[in-house]
Structure 1
Amino acid sequence: MRAQPTLGALLKNLRARNGWTLKEMSERSGIPVSTLSKVEHDRLTLTYDKLLQLSQRLNIRMSELFSENVTVPDMPVTARRSIGDLERAVRVNTSNYDYYYLCTELRRKRMIPVLTRVRVKSVSEFGDLVHHSGEEFIFVVSGRIVVHTEFYDPVTLEEGESIYIDSNMGHAYLAGEGCDEAVILGVCSSAEDGLMDSLINLHAEDAVAK
């Protein structure tokens, strides 16, 4: 079975398609040669701000860096697998959350797993409730969270508890009382294409707004 591309492989292929050396790609992207080299050899990943910088300066879609919208033939999925860990996760840091996108080398995923560190403690600090397509399942790994949703009263979830919601409904996850930081594991899914794009755009808006 052919291996799925990592972020390093995607960057290497992008550089090859354009005939750039590492130095030329560094000059175009503003990211040091040593950093790009480590990423290409899968010894380092990039934080969200660096991925956004790459996207803007090289004029490519952010989703291409997550392996989500690469055109591939429609073939039945029979034996795919991906082992996720924080070292290989794609990190996205915002003022409210630190996201760790897992198993990003798999294309055309039906579910998007993400580990999130929740720091924000109030709705006023969070801002507008988030909406996006699909559904999501959230499990509290550690700490305590308060879940705010558009049509329900807030609910507090302790470690080991979980919630399943319609993601089109406005929602926000806040660190609960007496908890400086909570860690949650989320799984997002959608029948529509482009869920990863939607999530990435939400992060970009948060980075600008905050």
Structure 2
Amino acid sequence: MTPQQHPTIGSLLRALRTRNDWTLKEMSQRCGIPLSTLSKVENDRLSLTYDKLLLISQRLNIRMSELFAENDQSAPEPAVTARRSIGKIDDAVRVTTPNYDYFYLCPELRRKRMIPVLTRVRAKTIEEFGELVRHSGEEYIHVLEGRAEVHTEFYDPIVLEAGESVYIDSNMGHAYIAAEGCEEVLLLGVCSSADEQLMESLLHIHDEGAKLVAVK
């Protein structure tokens, strides 16, 4: 038996448009996304960046998490889901901030218990970084490239070399910066929480100061 296909952002937008009996043109006018772009997204030929998803959320008055099917409670989840998602960078939801470029992977999976994310770190001092970040759950961070300096609320800073990692309580204030002599760091992170709104919480951390990224 072929595993059930999980919805992409394109299929979720198409379903939303169908439920409201909107034409593609009407949907484009309502959400502020060009018709040609919207058509490509609905046919899974193009992904949307964070600023475009936020625009749709605001214009259509829906929660950001609905665009990731996080709250679909229409049917109980079976014991064996056979879920699978290939984490391609082109399909990631991208958020650019003064400190980081985030690439949230596998965005089409609903009700995820873990949020995988690639992060490019540019901040080089804790003063440049600003206030420490806090959110629910726990996280695991593995350094893929460069050297990362890890600052946490209750511990002295540590430097992680490529191939090294750290596991922390995400409620504790934390920040990752490029260590001395390193221009940029690439991190692979996994965030996990019992909070089913984790994805939305992570996205809204970046609302203030997030840089808009144009859809190509």
| Aligned residue number for residue 41 of structure 2 | 39
Counterpart amino acid of residue 28 in structure 2: S
Q: Which of 121, 124, 127 in structure 2 is aligned with 1:124?
A: 127
| Aligned residue number for residue 11 of structure 2 | 9
Q: Scaled by the length of structure 2, what TM-score is found? A: 0.91
The answer (yes or no) to whether the contact 2:89–2:103 under 8 Å persists in 1 is yes
| Aligned residue number for residue 214 of structure 2 | none
Identity of aligned residues (%): 68
For structure 1, list consecutive stretches of 5 or more residues without a partner in the other structure. none
Q: Does 1:197 align with 2:197?
A: no
| Aligned residue number for residue 181 of structure 1 | 184
In the alignment of these two chains, the number of paired residues is 208
Counterpart amino acid of residue 2 in structure 1: Q
RMSD: 1.4
For structure 2, list consecutive stretches of 5 or more residues without a partner in the other structure. 212-216
Q: Equivalent residue of 2:123, what SS?
A: coil
> Could you list the runs of 4 or more consecutive aligned residues of structure 1 that deviate by over 3 angstroms after TM superposition?
none
Instruction: Report the CA distance between 1:17 and its aligned residue.
Output: 1.2
| Aligned residue number for residue 86 of structure 1 | 89
The answer (yes or no) to whether the contact 2:70–2:196 under 8 Å persists in 1 is no
Q: Deviations over 1:99-135 (max 9, x none)?
A: 1111111111111111111111122222211111110
In 1, Cα distance between the equivalents of 2:70 and 2:196? 9
The answer (yes or no) to whether the contact 1:47–1:93 under 8 Å persists in 2 is no
Deviates more, 1:46-55 or 1:198-207: 198-207
Instruction: Report the CA distance between 1:153 and its aligned residue.
Output: 0.6
Q: Scaled by the length of structure 1, what TM-score is found? A: 0.94
Instruction: Report the CA distance between 1:71 and its aligned residue.
Output: 2.1
In 1, Cα distance between the equivalents of 2:167 and 2:194? 16
| Aligned residue number for residue 20 of structure 1 | 22
**RCO higher in 1 or 2 (8 Å CA, sep ≥ 6)?**
2
Distance 1:204 1:76, change over 3 A: same
| Aligned residue number for residue 174 of structure 2 | 171
